[in-house]
Structure 1
Amino acid sequence: MKSLVFLSAAALLLTSCNSTPPTVEPIPGSITYGGQPRTKLTKAPVGSRLHNSFRVVNGVAYETYVIEPDRSLKLIRREIRSDFYDTN
Structure 2
Amino acid sequence: MRRIILLAIVGLVTCSCDQTSTSRAGNFSLQPIPGSITYGGQPRMKLTKSPIGSQVPHHFTDQWGDDVYETYIIQPDRSLRLVDRRIIQQPF
Work out the CA distance in 1 between the residues paired with 2:28 and 2:67: 21
Q: Does structure 1 residue 55 correspond to structure 2 residue 61? A: yes
Give me the TM-score of the superposition, normalised by structure 2.
0.68
For the pair 1:65 / 2:79, whether they are aligned, the reply is no
How many residue pairs match? The answer is: 67
1:45 partnered with 2:51: yes
Q: 1:72 is matched by which residue type in structure 2?
A: S
Larger Cα-atom Rg: 1
Structure 2, unmatched stretches of 5+, are 1-24
Q: Which has the higher contact order (CA 8 A, sep 6+)?
A: 2
2-side partners of 1:45 and 1:20: how far apart? Answer: 22
Identical pairs, percent:
51
Summarize the Cα distance change of 1:43–1:37 in structure 2 as closer, same or farther, 3 Å threshold.
Answer: same
Give me the whole-angstrom Cα distance separating, in 2, the residues matched to 1:70 and 1:33. Answer: 18
Q: C-alpha displacement at 1:21, in angstroms?
A: 3.5
1:82 maps onto 2:89 in alignment: yes
Normalization by structure 1: what TM-score?
A: 0.71
Unaligned runs of 5+ in 1: 1-18
| Structure number with higher helix proportion | 1
List, as ranges, runs of 4+ consecutive aligned residues in structure 1 with deviation greater than 2 Å: none
Equivalents in 2 of 1:69, 1:21: separation in Å?
19
